[in-house]
Amino acid sequence: MPKTFYIQSYDDWEIFLEQHDLELATLIVETALKNLDSKKRHIHIADVDVEEEETILEITLDTDEMVHTLETNLSILEHYEEYELCIKVRNAINKLESNG
Protein backbone atom coordinates (compact mmCIF):
# COMPACT_ATOMS: atom_id res chain seq x y z
CA MET A 1 0.00 0.00 0.00
CA PRO A 2 1.58 3.30 -1.05
CA LYS A 3 2.14 5.95 1.58
CA THR A 4 -0.10 9.03 1.48
CA PHE A 5 1.10 12.48 2.49
CA TYR A 6 -1.47 15.14 3.36
CA ILE A 7 -0.91 18.81 2.61
CA GLN A 8 -3.24 21.80 2.62
CA SER A 9 -2.35 23.44 -0.69
CA TYR A 10 0.06 23.43 -3.58
CA ASP A 11 1.90 26.30 -1.88
CA ASP A 12 2.64 23.96 1.02
CA TRP A 13 4.22 21.39 -1.31
CA GLU A 14 7.61 23.12 -1.56
CA ILE A 15 7.76 23.57 2.20
CA PHE A 16 6.78 19.94 2.64
CA LEU A 17 9.56 18.81 0.30
CA GLU A 18 12.15 20.79 2.22
CA GLN A 19 11.00 19.46 5.59
CA HIS A 20 10.61 15.84 4.52
CA ASP A 21 13.46 15.41 2.08
CA LEU A 22 15.05 12.52 4.03
CA GLU A 23 11.73 10.73 4.43
CA LEU A 24 10.91 11.11 0.74
CA ALA A 25 14.42 10.19 -0.40
CA THR A 26 14.34 7.06 1.74
CA LEU A 27 10.91 6.11 0.43
CA ILE A 28 11.97 6.67 -3.18
CA VAL A 29 15.21 4.74 -2.77
CA GLU A 30 13.64 1.81 -0.93
CA THR A 31 10.94 1.54 -3.60
CA ALA A 32 13.55 1.70 -6.34
CA LEU A 33 15.68 -0.98 -4.67
CA LYS A 34 12.68 -3.29 -4.43
CA ASN A 35 11.94 -2.77 -8.13
CA LEU A 36 15.38 -2.93 -9.74
CA ASP A 37 14.30 -5.78 -11.99
CA SER A 38 10.75 -4.58 -12.61
CA LYS A 39 9.37 -4.76 -16.12
CA LYS A 40 7.00 -1.88 -15.35
CA ARG A 41 7.82 1.54 -16.79
CA HIS A 42 6.36 3.50 -13.85
CA ILE A 43 6.44 2.43 -10.21
CA HIS A 44 4.02 4.07 -7.79
CA ILE A 45 5.84 5.45 -4.74
CA ALA A 46 3.34 7.59 -2.84
CA ASP A 47 0.28 9.78 -3.05
CA VAL A 48 0.01 13.42 -2.03
CA ASP A 49 -3.47 14.51 -0.97
CA VAL A 50 -3.83 18.26 -1.60
CA GLU A 51 -6.81 19.01 0.61
CA GLU A 52 -7.75 22.53 -0.61
CA GLU A 53 -7.71 21.39 -4.22
CA GLU A 54 -9.37 18.04 -3.48
CA THR A 55 -6.65 16.49 -5.63
CA ILE A 56 -4.37 13.53 -5.21
CA LEU A 57 -0.95 13.67 -6.82
CA GLU A 58 0.95 10.49 -7.52
CA ILE A 59 4.69 10.26 -7.03
CA THR A 60 6.03 7.67 -9.44
CA LEU A 61 9.42 6.34 -10.45
CA ASP A 62 10.16 6.12 -14.16
CA THR A 63 12.30 3.00 -14.44
CA ASP A 64 14.05 4.49 -17.49
CA GLU A 65 15.38 7.15 -15.08
CA MET A 66 16.30 4.72 -12.29
CA VAL A 67 20.04 5.52 -12.18
CA HIS A 68 19.42 9.27 -12.23
CA THR A 69 16.79 8.97 -9.50
CA LEU A 70 19.08 6.88 -7.31
CA GLU A 71 21.99 9.30 -7.81
CA THR A 72 19.83 12.31 -6.97
CA ASN A 73 18.55 10.76 -3.76
CA LEU A 74 21.97 9.39 -2.84
CA SER A 75 23.21 12.93 -2.21
CA ILE A 76 20.33 13.52 0.21
CA LEU A 77 21.09 10.27 2.04
CA GLU A 78 24.77 11.23 2.25
CA HIS A 79 23.85 14.63 3.68
CA TYR A 80 21.90 12.92 6.48
CA GLU A 81 24.69 10.34 6.95
CA GLU A 82 22.50 7.34 6.09
CA TYR A 83 25.57 5.40 5.06
CA GLU A 84 24.15 1.86 5.16
CA LEU A 85 21.43 2.85 2.70
CA CYS A 86 24.02 4.77 0.65
CA ILE A 87 25.99 1.56 0.17
CA LYS A 88 22.88 -0.24 -1.06
CA VAL A 89 22.12 2.61 -3.46
CA ARG A 90 25.70 2.73 -4.78
CA ASN A 91 25.63 -1.05 -5.35
CA ALA A 92 22.32 -0.76 -7.20
CA ILE A 93 23.66 2.04 -9.38
CA ASN A 94 26.73 -0.04 -10.23
CA LYS A 95 24.52 -3.04 -11.07
CA LEU A 96 22.24 -0.99 -13.31
CA GLU A 97 25.14 0.70 -15.09
CA SER A 98 26.91 -2.61 -15.72
CA ASN A 99 23.71 -4.11 -17.15
CA GLY A 100 23.08 -1.04 -19.12
Mean pLDDT of the region 12-19: 86
Q: What is the pLDDT of residues 63-79, one digit of tens each?
A: 999 999 999 999 999 99
Longest dimension (CA), the chain: 45
4-8, 13-17, 24-28, 86-90: least confidently modelled range: 13-17
Using the predicted structure, report yes or no on whether residue 100 has a pLDDT greater than 80: no
Helices then strands, each counted (H, E), the chain:
4, 3
Claim: this prediction has a pTM higher than 0.85: yes
Alpha-carbon distance of 11 to 15, in angstroms, equals 8
- Spans of all domains in the chain: 3-99
pLDDT for position 21: 85
Collect all residues with Cβ–Cβ distance below 8 Å to 95 and sequence separation of at least 6.
36
pLDDT for position 74: 96
Percentage of residues of the chain with pLDDT beyond 70: 99
Backbone CA torsion sign across 95, 78, 68, 66: positive
Alpha-carbon distance of 81 to 91, in angstroms, equals 17
